[in-house]
Amino acid sequence: MDLGNDLHLELGAGGGRRAALIGALRDAVRGGRLAPGTRLPPYRTLAADLGIARNTVADAYAELVAEGWLTSRQGSGTRVADRVAAPAPGPVRPTAPPPLPYDLVQGKPDPGAFPRATWLASARRALTAAPHEAFGIGDPHGRIELRRALVEYLARARGVRTSPDRIVICSGAAHALRLLARVLGTAGPWAVEAYGLPFHRGLLAEAGVVTVPVAVDEDGARVADIPRPASAVLLTPAHQFPTGGPLHPERRAGVLEWARTSGGLVVEDDYDGEFRYDRRPVGAVQGLDPEQTVLIGSVSKSLSPALRIGWMCLPAALVDGVVTAKGEREPYAAATEQLTLADFLASGGYDRHVRRMRQRHRARRDRLTAVLAERAPGVRVTGIAAGLHAVLELPPGTERTALAAAARHGVAVEGLASYRHPDARGPAHPAGLVVGYATPPERLYGAALGALCDALGDALPDTARAVSGT
């Protein structure tokens, strides 16, 4: 028996039930709450819900069909008529400018590359095997199935040493940093790389944490410059963001020695550790000393930011504090998605996807460097041994001009200066563009590179003359 959809109507007091129902339905359609094509409940269902006679509902529907508000067909039920006028539009509000056609902003994988078929297969297996308690109130540590799968994967692929009871699932790097800031408090500043995500610095500032910049060079953060009063240092050791180099082995040892002697914490953002092309794999710093390091990871770069799944591998002393800060109810990361990711990892689907995307990103990177070598040979490309972006070094004083030219040619891209900490001292890195090569769909990638080179030709006339031979 078709019980139909729920429908909320206020009939009011006084007057006949039939007239009140007709008026309520007219108001709901006229006001836009019932859109054209919406199917109404059967007579019996609506009558029972409203506590009125079935014939009253039937008569009201028939009247509104006759007036043209509703339509009724055998087998299709009663629906709101398509020809009913829509409600008058409200005041015109300013809209955001349309996005530029060529998206070369870093940090975003191509949404079309999401492995739908294998993810769906994992979802089916995971939901079939899931215990009943998985659909109750969640454990703030996160699903045990995912934590076990992460222990195996991170040990094998990233050199991480941890256990399920020392992993806490969160909704990404930002969520992890907010939790850590809450646990560590504001007793001391955090040292951060002089070039890094302004968003991360901003959320620490919102939590009352003062950030102190540490200079970055071709060997990564200059960890000898970390101030002693700092309570933590936030690093991107596998692939410094955004300049691109790995943290030198001596500096890895140095930052751990700083942590041991100062009582500080190393917070390792392993944001794209899976994607390396021209170098041997670089393991996580966490594997060298799990008691001094928090490793933060997520699937935002490797799968999709829409999944909202990340993790923290914590020292034993921090687990209870982080779980308490997170709260008793599991927020953000749905249990069903956690179960699916656990199967995706355990079945090898994640490894196969990462290898496939590694090949694709490497081909895109090679295409970018080849086009620039041909059309803008005066531009040096750096930070390309790993990750999802490259840095194009520009002549001094040309970054803003290049960004303006890129916008004119429909290219969304960011300048290197926007990542510099406002309190950073000493010489800045050369002017540059941070070019993400993962986001555009394949059919637009060639056009995006062409538009980027056109913009560079406009902004850097010397380079354009070198290309044209004039």
pLDDT digits (tens, 9 = 90+) for 64-89: 999 899 998 887 789 999 864 554 55
Share above pLDDT 70 across residues of the chain, in percent, rounded to a whole number: 92
pLDDT band per the 50, 70, 90 thresholds, residue 394: very high
Same domain, 368 and 301: no
pLDDT band per the 50, 70, 90 thresholds, residue 470: very low
Residue 51, domain extent: 1-95
* pLDDT tens digits, 359-377: 999 999 999 999 999 999 9
**What's the mean pLDDT when you consider all of the chain?**
90
* pLDDT tens digits, 149-183: 999 999 999 999 999 999 999 999 999 999 999 99
Residue 301 lies in a domain: yes
Answer yes or no: are the C-beta atoms of 293 and 265 closer than 8 Å: yes
Q: Which of 110-119, 328-337, 430-439 has the lowest mean pLDDT?
A: 328-337
Residue 73 lies in a domain: yes
Same domain, 333 and 206: yes
Burial call 6-31: b when 16+ CB within 10 Å, e when fewer: ebebebeeeeebbebbbebbbebbee
Same domain, 335 and 432: no
Vertex 105 angle, CA 102 and 108, to 5°: 105
The tokens of 339 are what?
Answer: 């179960």
Same domain, 276 and 358: no
pLDDT above 80 (res 2): no
* pLDDT tens digits, 183-227: 998 889 999 999 999 999 999 999 999 999 999 999 999 999 998
Q: What is the pLDDT of residue 1?
A: 52
pTM: 0.86
| Residue 352 φ/ψ, nearest 5 degrees | -65, -40
Name the domain boundary from 320, 348, 376: 348
pLDDT above 60 (res 36): yes
- What would the mean pLDDT of 47-63 be, rounded to a whole number? 92
Question: How many residues are present in the chain?
Answer: 470
**Terminal Cα distance for the chain, rounded:** 80
Domain count, the chain: 3
Name the domain boundary from 348, 377, 411: 348
Same domain, 337 and 368: no
Peptide bond into 189 cis (omega under 30): no
What is the rounded distance in angstroms from the CA atom of residue 297 to the CA atom of residue 162? 13
Name the 3-class secondary structure at 396: coil
What is the rounded distance in angstroms from the CA atom of residue 229 to the CA atom of residue 206? 20
pLDDT above 60 (res 402): yes
Same domain, 159 and 18: no
- What would the mean pLDDT of 242-270 be, rounded to a whole number? 95
pLDDT band per the 50, 70, 90 thresholds, residue 412: very high
Residue 295 lies in a domain: yes
What is the rounded distance in angstroms from the CA atom of residue 330 to the CA atom of residue 333? 7
Q: Between the CA of residue 314 and those of 264, 287, 321, what are the distances in Å?
A: 14, 12, 10
Name the domain boundary from 38, 66, 95: 95
Q: Which of 106-110, 395-399, 417-421 has the lowest mean pLDDT?
A: 106-110
Pairing mode of beta strands 232-235, 265-269: parallel
Same domain, 118 and 76: no
pLDDT above 90 (res 92): no
Residue 104 lies in a domain: no
- What would the mean pLDDT of 22-26 be, rounded to a whole number? 91
Residue 109 lies in a domain: no
Same domain, 324 and 450: no
Same domain, 140 and 287: yes
Residue 100 lies in a domain: no
Instruction: Select the more confidently predicted residue: 296 or 96.
Output: 296
Same domain, 183 and 225: yes
Q: Between the CA of residue 237 and those of 29, 393, 415, what are the distances in Å?
A: 58, 21, 22
Residue 106 lies in a domain: no
Give residues with Cβ within 8 angstroms of 378, minimum separation 6: 395, 460, 462, 463, 466
Residue 107 lies in a domain: no
Q: What is the pLDDT of residue 329?
A: 63
Residue 333 sits in a domain whose CATH number is 3.40.640.10
Q: What is the pLDDT of residue 11?
A: 85
What is the rounded distance in angstroms from the CA atom of residue 273 to the CA atom of residue 283? 8
Residue 69 sits in a domain whose CATH number is 1.10.10.10
Same domain, 186 and 118: yes
Residue 427 sits in a domain whose CATH number is 3.90.1150.10
Same domain, 365 and 322: no
